[in-house]
Structure 1
């Protein structure tokens, strides 16, 4: 018998309580409810959720490793963009954009498919894999790739900024079918 029930019986009923009610006592509280799963289904669900969480973490880690070349290329493009702000570095910075795009493409596409591409074939590849390089930016990419230093130095800041923006967009969003 619990102490609560013993004290309830020993306590006299208040005056004026009918005789039938005077003999009643408080019921003991039920035992505490367990928070542990009561069926095997919950255990199976916990195992499935843990497996899904592990698979998701593994897939995220793989994707993070697989996309490293993008992060490296975008960081290099930021350094190129910082060099564009310096007048004495503009020409060298502009000529570094085309090789950066080529190295980025080589990191993900088969070498046989990408390494020999130049001119219109290279621009077609860039458009095919993301589609943003237009006629103006394509021509500008050809200029910074092959033109003499005087012609590269004549490129305006706006044109250079547009080329950097399109290069950034391509690096961040391209998708090459292997």
Structure 2
């Protein structure tokens, strides 16, 4: 083992002696690479980022305008909830909102059980079928329901207007 170490040392020493004999001078280091945004990739990346932001803003504005009918219906529903409008007006709002979302041909002729089933299918978590009898009495016999049913009707109407799936 001592012999090996000694040979490695001799080989290294002889290389050092050879390099010293060449008189190469000091080691030349390259200049530091500057980090700037002057390359073409950065403007392209910035342009793509800006384009992405513009597209997102345009989509948000379109969605906002597209859902204007929902906001207007919810504002009118607040008049029903506060007592400024009669309770049956909530069904006028539902019909108007559904016609806007699904078209007059699809919704215009619906009433009764088929109408309540349609409402329940188009939004999750609403239960107009469970209130069918009380709603029919309200609409056709002008019989005001108890406060609990009134609250359920307004809550379901609000949830349907907010959450119904469009086409």
Task: Write the distance in 2 (CA, Å) between the matches of 1:101 and 1:167.
Answer: 7
Alpha carbons of structure 1 residues 134 and 95: separation in structure 2 relative to 1, 3 Å: closer
Cα-to-partner distance string for 1:123-155 (whole Å, 9 max, x where unaligned): 1110110142243323333222222x3x22xx1
> Which among 133, 139, 142 is matched to residue 139 of structure 1?
133
Task: Write the distance in 2 (CA, Å) between the matches of 1:60 and 1:138.
Answer: 37
State the match for 1:86 in structure 2: none
Q: TM-score, normalised by structure 2?
A: 0.74
Task: Write the distance in 2 (CA, Å) between the matches of 1:138 and 1:176.
Answer: 23
Q: TM-score, normalised by structure 1?
A: 0.69
State the match for 2:76 in structure 1: 76
Task: Write the distance in 2 (CA, Å) between the matches of 1:163 and 1:41.
Answer: 58
Task: Write the distance in 2 (CA, Å) between the matches of 1:111 and 1:135.
Answer: 22
CA contact (8 A) 1:69 1:104 kept: yes
> Which among 154, 157, 163 is matched to residue 164 of structure 1?
154
Aligned-residue CA RMSD in angstroms?
Answer: 1.9
CA contact (8 A) 2:94 2:157 kept: yes
Q: How many residues align?
A: 134
State the match for 1:123 in structure 2: 116
Task: Write the distance in 1 (CA, Å) between the matches of 2:147 and 2:134.
Answer: 12
Q: How does 1:36-55 map to 2 (within 5 A)?
A: 37-55=37-55
Q: Which runs of no fewer than 5 residues in structure 1 stay unpaired?
A: 1-32, 84-88
CA contact (8 A) 2:117 2:129 kept: no
State the match for 2:165 in structure 1: 175
> Which among 75, 79, 102 is matched to residue 95 of structure 2?
102
CA contact (8 A) 2:88 2:139 kept: yes
Structure 1 segments (4+ residues) deviating >2 Å? 134-145
